[in-house]
Amino acid sequence: MKKILITGGAGFIGSHVVRRFVTTYPEYHIFNLDALTYAGNLENLRDIENSANYTFVKGDIVDAVFLDELFSEHDFYGVIHLAAESHVDRSITDPMAFVMTNVIGTANLLNAAKKSWKDNLAEHLFYHVSTDEVYGELHDPNEFFLETTKYDPRSPYSASKASSDHLVRAYHNTYKMPVVISNCSNNYGPNHFPEKLIPLMINNILNNKPLPVYGKGENIRDWLFVEDHARAIDVIFHKGKNGETYNIGGHNEWKNIDLVKLLCQIMDEKLNRPEGTSARLIHYVTDRAGHDLRYAIDATKLKTELGWVPSLQFAEGLEKTVNWYLANQEWLDNITSGAYSHYYEEMYDGR
Ligand code: NAD
Ligand code: TYD
């Protein structure tokens, strides 16, 4: 059985990747390494937690000694690295947490893998999951991020992810570590932590709370259903070319305000509220510092070289997402009743 280490598997995207690998590949043993920060939630994996080919390991990638021990205990064939601090707003208030996990943590993981794989490095694979935010922001509506676009990170989050991408490429170039990197656009779907735009709006609509739209709501994001991202990771892990980068995106750009209005409409229908009820909760608040205007991915390389295209239209994906949150209000309540409620007050009070 090939052992595969997935980091950050208790988080939003990681949990979908873990589920996909555990259920699709009984010939792999999946180890999910996660520190269970505020964003990690083992409830996300309740349906597969007893699978014979799945093991959860609680641990912090900032702890190099722990990683060395883990890699000496197990001969991992490959690593799929998703563990990260992932929220731009938090990176503005606490950049060092992002440097620690995203930069130091990734370096520690690379070092542990390099030491453990030294006798047959070429037979292993380090897959680094990254973001389109490393490319900076776009202004010209005809421009898209390509794999060759120059890095221009503009938030502490994107700068820390860019650093980690550079480290992964450096280990490939210098030590010949087999690597692949993917840079994906904004994900949405079940299990998305309600600090991010779509689940935050769903949660606030449910609770009749104001819907905080940053600035004028004109920033644009390219949204991809999370299971499509997990499938892209599967394809790249198995068919990606050593040393290559692949952009992943939905070709699905939305201005924030239009997206929030669409969500309001869907939620009014689902909750049998008169049309326009939720939209009245929209509340423009102080803009995010250094707010990137537009992200948009050109995923042609992934399509032409590896045959991946998104499977879901946005309307369908959003419908699935809203239905999931409505059916899983306990999941939301468990998150929003704890420390998250303090974060919310601090982040949004006085905005
Ligand atoms: P998330 O915040 O939901 O989950 C991150 C997970 O990593 C959590 O389970 C957390 O407990 C774990 N973690 C954090 N610090 C750790 C540490 N020091 N040691 C071990 N585990 C730790 O994030 P997500 O949205 O699922 O993103 C996963 C990855 O995908 C990240 O690398 C992110 O940069 C990337 N990405 C995210 C998006 C998006 O839209 N969410 C888009 C493109 C790329
Ligand atoms: P977010 O989900 O935090 O993802 P990212 O910043 O990584 O793109 O935010 C998506 C967009 O929504 C971004 O332009 C910021 C905006 N936004 C709001 O307008 N209000 C909010 O409460 C949040 C969380 C985000």
Q: Where are the domains of the chain?
A: 2-188+223-248, 197-220+253-289+313-342
Phi, psi of 77 (to 5 degrees): -70, -45
Q: Is the pLDDT reported for residue 214 higher than 80?
A: yes
Taking the centre of ligand 1 as the mean of its atom positions, its distance from the CA of residue 42, in whole angstroms, is 14
Percentage of the chain with pLDDT > 90?
Answer: 94
Any idea which residues carry the catalytic annotation? 132-133, 157
The verdict on the CB of residue 34 being under 6 Å from ligand 1 is yes
Taking the centre of ligand 2 as the mean of its atom positions, its distance from the CA of residue 258, in whole angstroms, is 13
Mean pLDDT of 184-200: 98
Q: List pLDDT tens digits, range 136-182.
A: 999 999 999 999 999 999 999 999 999 999 999 999 999 999 999 99
8-state DSSP, 207: T
Taking the centre of ligand 1 as the mean of its atom positions, its distance from the CA of residue 135, in whole angstroms, is 18
Q: How confident is the model at residue 202 (pLDDT cuts 50, 70, 90)?
A: very high
Q: Specify the pLDDT at position 35.
A: 96
Residue pair 306/253 in contact (Cβ under 8 Å)? The answer is no
Task: List the residue whose alpha carbon is closest to atom 4 of ligand 1.
Answer: 11
Q: How confident is the model at residue 215 (pLDDT cuts 50, 70, 90)?
A: very high
Just give the CATH number of 2-188+223-248. 3.40.50.720
Residue pair 153/130 in contact (Cβ under 8 Å)? The answer is no
**224 beta partners:** 187
Q: Is the pLDDT reported for residue 190 higher than 90?
A: yes
**57 beta partners:** 33
Q: List pLDDT tens digits, range 93-104.
A: 999 999 999 999
| 351: amino acid identity, one letter | R
Q: How confident is the model at residue 349 (pLDDT cuts 50, 70, 90)?
A: confident
Q: How confident is the model at residue 348 (pLDDT cuts 50, 70, 90)?
A: confident
Looking at domain 197-220+253-289+313-342, its CATH superfamily turns out to be: UDP-galactose 4-epimerase, domain 1 (3.90.25.10)
Task: List the residue whose alpha carbon is closest to atom 14 of ligand 1.
Answer: 84
Mean pLDDT of 2-22: 98
Q: Is the pLDDT reported for residue 222 higher than 90?
A: yes
Mean pLDDT of 192-210: 97
Residue pair 289/92 in contact (Cβ under 8 Å)? The answer is yes
pTM score: 0.97
Percentage of the chain with pLDDT > 70?
Answer: 99
Contacts (Cβ under 8 Å, ≥6 apart) of 213: 256, 257, 260, 282, 283, 284, 285
The verdict on the CB of residue 211 being under 6 Å from ligand 2 is no
Q: Specify the pLDDT at position 345.
A: 80
Q: Specify the pLDDT at position 346.
A: 80
Q: List pLDDT tens digits, range 41-56.
A: 999 999 999 999 999 9
**211 beta partners:** 282
- The average confidence (pLDDT) of the chain is 96
Q: Output 4 or 347, whichever has higher pLDDT.
A: 4
Choice from 5, 13, 36 to test ligand 1 binding pocket (greatest atom count within 8 A of CB) = 13
Taking the centre of ligand 1 as the mean of its atom positions, its distance from the CA of residue 199, in whole angstroms, is 16
Q: List pLDDT tens digits, range 55-104.
A: 999 999 999 999 999 999 999 999 999 999 999 999 999 999 999 999 99
Domains 2-188+223-248 and 197-220+253-289+313-342 share a fold: no
Q: How confident is the model at residue 342 (pLDDT cuts 50, 70, 90)?
A: confident
